[in-house]
Amino acid sequence: MMPEAAYIYSPEQLNYKFSEDHPFNQRRLSLTLDLLKELGALEQHQIFPARMATDQELLLIHEEEYIKAVKSASTGLVQSSYSSTFGIGTEDTPAFPNMHEAAAWLVGGTLAAVDMVFEQGYKHALNLGGGLHHGFRGKASGFCVYNDSSIAIEYMRRKYQARVLYVDTDAHHGDGVQWAFYNDPDVCTLSIHESGRFLFPGTGNVNERGHGEGNGYTFNIPLEAFTEDDSFLESYRKAFTEVVEYFKPDVIITQNGADAHYYDPLTHLCGTSKIFLEIPKLAHELAHKYCEGRWIAVGGGGYDIWRVVPRAWSAIWLEMSGQTDLFKQSLPDTWLKRWQKETDAVLPDSWYDKPDMYPPIPRKNEINLKNERTLNKALEPIFKKKTDNEKQNVLL
């Protein structure tokens, strides 16, 4: 019998590194892999290699001139116009040696995950090296050079004629994926993120709903800053459940940024580890209900690489592979001792954060009410369609 889940990883994915002090740190992948192995939750036969995406695959989304610029920057030839024209060489996305190859390995990991599901018979596949959702067709943005999720979605559409639902729970709006498919009725995007009022990239408003034939297939839930677990999860559950029933996809791809946590240094949400245990649980359930189990998950943001990301991303694999009983155990002493000496942050020994980890939020009720209104407004097209269908059924 074919196992349910495949874990995609190659050491080459660690080479996506802007600098020693850049917040995007792929050491997260090593911390997570090591935690899963110490738990006894990931065996070698469950790990499959990523690969380097070809130029033809990158061209599914990206423009040829942009790819040429990335390759040029990879060799140290960064022209002064690259930052304004291609977004390369900026403070957020500086050039680094072999940047093209490193970014293409992240894309190839997500494509390998796709093929494990569509060709090898696995129900689910996880590529934590992916999730670079800010990359545009002709421009790098927000730490993202190539947009692996957009390329994977186009790859699934062309190779497998799949209807794709993309669900993004990163604290930042999934702008690159949204704009890539804004006119496409066969790709539906749902992004639940902190409002762009104070946070990059500033987009992801409720009224961004798609254009042309794609109108009605883009959903955004911009949450208030300081949103806590209950309001976040209420928005996520209701939005995901309504959108998947409305769109009826062939496959679900989830972007699992881990930066909605209170500890994250770049965002302003107040999630705890609880949301990262619940997010994959619903994705797993809905993938089986609507897509015969087809679920591809990628990583994303997450800038507290010690206290948050390893637990959050391990939780995806434990859910995919049916090992959630391990949440009842403490994190392994061997893992804690090995990595504690690498950081000044005190590593948590539990999957669950303490309830008093941060002071009470003064505007909690107001924030929750605003989020509820935002959610209902975002889902208005679905509610309207339901009402219209009910009226039509009465007339018939």
CA separation, residue 44 to residues 9, 177, 271, 299, 336 (Å): 11, 32, 32, 20, 22
In three-state secondary structure terms, 332 is coil
Measured distance CA(217)–CA(152) in Å, rounded: 18
Alpha helices in the chain (DSSP H): 27-39, 55-58, 64-74, 82-86, 99-118, 148-160, 175-180, 229-247, 273-290, 309-320, 333-340, 364-378, 380-395
The answer to whether 42 and 36 are in contact (CB under 8 A) is: yes
Tokens of 104: 């293409």
DSSP string, 338-350: HHHTT-SSPPPSS
Longest dimension (CA), the chain: 70
Which residues carry out catalysis?
134
β-strand partners of 191:
168, 220
CA end-to-end distance (rounded Å), the chain: 47
